[in-house]
Chains A and B, each alone.
Chain A
């Protein structure tokens, strides 16, 4: 196992432990995030095992893709106050499951292709959710320092990660087209992942039922 994978898994474990230890003090969306971290950690380990044992971890990648979308969407569902947005999220979950199923069976089969269509679609939705949530934060500001608000860190993490993935994709395509060394982009992806889970960890660490009114 490389250093990068170990450090990634250790970070996930650290965030997981933080979430489990503080579980009772967390609001509902951050409890959902803690459960997501558990599933991500288990699935990443499974992906590595499958890669080593079966030389193919693409089915696990498909499971990661749909699982993450479900968890993140439910977390956002509990953060929004507007019923139209909440219902839209529920509708998107339903539609995404259908799209994902069709994609995994027909377009990008789960045994042979990475689910880039599903990942791209979910990143677009995450970016939209995070911008809408930033807007909600401006409409209903809490009288608490923004740095101490878990929603701010979570939303920043989601916006950061979802938009960076597009940059990543653009860079990979450019590098491949111009026959440049694209390994560096994968290192960049690793750094982005680490920053993302670090920000998620910060949000779980500071989340507090007493000062959060976003838990509807």
Chain B
């Protein structure tokens, strides 16, 4: 009877454990497959992010080159032409008048050298990343205000901290896009930039008082720049909210948690799958 008890117990236990082990092994295999699939998706997202970042860098450089080209054409070329003309006229003047003209020309050439120096610095987007977001926007605001194209206001609320090179680059690009839209499409007279630095939240607000637009009537072409802003904000772990209505200007609000990880985090844990 004891032998029969043992036999029944062993058979039942063996069948049971075989079933349970089979289930656990099946689960482990399924889990491993899921991990590999997730890893591939993560890599794809990281690749997309790198591509988008590269695109952002290229666009910033394009913008900078366009600005440089305009500055050279509108400003530097004009000033040097004026200097050439002025110096050309000195052959008909007396020594005292000639000296005055030469001094004026020297001042203008000196100013041009300074402008060229500033331009050469701004050609590199690494210049942007080394200065940080606040200083870069400040310089841009200064430049635009000098040009008189639009009246810009820049406010910083809270103590500024770094958000990381990549995020600041993307935020600067969003700022450039919004500014471009205000200058080219909306005929805005004022453009306000606000940066809010809180301990657990960062906010960038870009507002203009231009013609505005109806959110419903945006087509693919005209809305792509705005959608770009939303996508880029999402890539760096933020949220971009764009609000506008006809004759009420446009506002772009980008919010992000400065401590939230996003897809380009390169940290690894020793137990992470290779």
Interface residues of A (CB under 8 A from B): 134, 137-138, 141-146, 148, 156, 159-160, 163-164, 167, 170-171, 174-175, 179-182, 184-185, 188, 210-211
Write the nearest CB–CB distance from B28 to chain A, whole angstroms: 6
Q: List 26 A-B contacts (CB under 8 A).
A: A141-B34, A143-B38, A143-B42, A144-B271, A145-B273, A146-B32, A146-B35, A148-B271, A159-B23, A163-B20, A167-B12, A167-B16, A171-B8, A171-B9, A171-B12, A179-B1, A180-B4, A180-B5, A180-B8, A181-B1, A181-B2, A181-B5, A182-B5, A184-B9, A188-B9, A188-B13
- Bound state CA distance, A184 and B9, in angstroms? 8
Q: Are A143 and B9 in contact (CB under 8 A)?
A: no
Main secondary structure of the interface of B (DSSP, over half): helix
For A210, the chain B residues whose CB sits under 8 A away are 269
Which residues in chain B, 1-29, are within 8 Å of chain A measured between CB atoms?
A: 1-2, 4-6, 8-9, 12-13, 16, 20, 23-24, 27-28
Q: Are B20 and A141 in contact (CB under 8 A)?
A: no
Residue of chain A at shortest CB distance from B38? A141
For A163, the chain B residues whose CB sits under 8 A away are 16, 20
What would 7 more interface pairs be, CB under 8 Å, given A145-B271, A160-B20, A184-B6?
A143-B42, A143-B272, A144-B269, A146-B35, A167-B16, A171-B8, A210-B269
B271 CB contact (under 8 Å) in A175, A188, A211: A211
Among B8, B9, B24, B30, chain A packs the most CB atoms within 10 A around the CB of B9
For A185, the chain B residues whose CB sits under 8 A away are 9
- Bound state CA distance, A102 and B149, in angstroms? 81
Q: Across the A-B interface, how many residue pairs have beta carbons closer than 8 Å?
A: 64
For B27, the chain A residues whose CB sits under 8 A away are 134, 138
Residue of chain B at shortest CB distance from A188? B9
Write the nearest CB–CB distance from B5 to chain A, whole angstroms: 5
- Bound state CA distance, A156 and B6, in angstroms? 26
- Bound state CA distance, A138 and B34, in angstroms? 7
Write the nearest CB–CB distance from B139 to chain A, whole angstroms: 41
> Can you list the 3 inter-chain pairs with the closest CB atoms, starting with the nearest?
A141-B34, A181-B5, A180-B5
User: Contacts A160-B20, A167-B13, A171-B12 given: A141-B273 contact, CB under 8 Å?
Assistant: no
For B271, the chain A residues whose CB sits under 8 A away are 144-145, 148, 211
The size class of the interface chain B forms with chain A is 20 to 34
- Bound state CA distance, A180 and B5, in angstroms? 6
For A137, the chain B residues whose CB sits under 8 A away are 31
In this assembly, does B84 line the interface, its C-beta being within 8 Å of a C-beta of chain A? no
Q: Are B1 and A180 in contact (CB under 8 A)?
A: yes
For A188, the chain B residues whose CB sits under 8 A away are 9, 13
In this assembly, does B39 line the interface, its C-beta being within 8 Å of a C-beta of chain A? yes
Q: Are B38 and A174 in contact (CB under 8 A)?
A: no
For B4, the chain A residues whose CB sits under 8 A away are 180
Q: Are A184 and B272 in contact (CB under 8 A)?
A: no
For B39, the chain A residues whose CB sits under 8 A away are 143
Write the nearest CB–CB distance from A164 to chain B, whole angstroms: 7
User: Contacts A171-B8, A182-B5 given: A141-B31 contact, CB under 8 Å?
Assistant: yes
Q: Are A184 and B16 in contact (CB under 8 A)?
A: no
For A171, the chain B residues whose CB sits under 8 A away are 8-9, 12
Residue of chain A at shortest CB distance from B27? A134
- Bound state CA distance, A211 and B28, in angstroms? 18
For A146, the chain B residues whose CB sits under 8 A away are 28, 31-32, 35
- Bound state CA distance, A185 and B10, in angstroms? 10
Write the nearest CB–CB distance from A112 to chain B, whole angstroms: 28
Which residues in chain B, 255-274, are within 8 Å of chain A measured between CB atoms?
A: 269, 271-273
Q: Are A144 and B272 in contact (CB under 8 A)?
A: yes
Write the nearest CB–CB distance from A175 to chain B, whole angstroms: 6
Residue of chain B at shortest CB distance from A174? B8
- Bound state CA distance, A144 and B8, in angstroms? 40
- Bound state CA distance, A136 and B157, in angstroms? 42
Write the nearest CB–CB distance from A102 to chain B, whole angstroms: 32
For A184, the chain B residues whose CB sits under 8 A away are 2, 5-6, 9
User: Contacts A167-B16, A180-B1 given: A143-B34 contact, CB under 8 Å?
Assistant: no
For B24, the chain A residues whose CB sits under 8 A away are 156
- Bound state CA distance, A179 and B1, in angstroms? 9
Residue of chain B at shortest CB distance from A164? B16
For A211, the chain B residues whose CB sits under 8 A away are 269, 271
Q: Per-residue 0/1 for B187-213: is the Cβ within 8 Å of any A Cβ (1 yes, 0 no)? A: 000000000000000000000000000
- Bound state CA distance, A145 and B31, in angstroms? 10
Residue of chain B at shortest CB distance from A208? B271
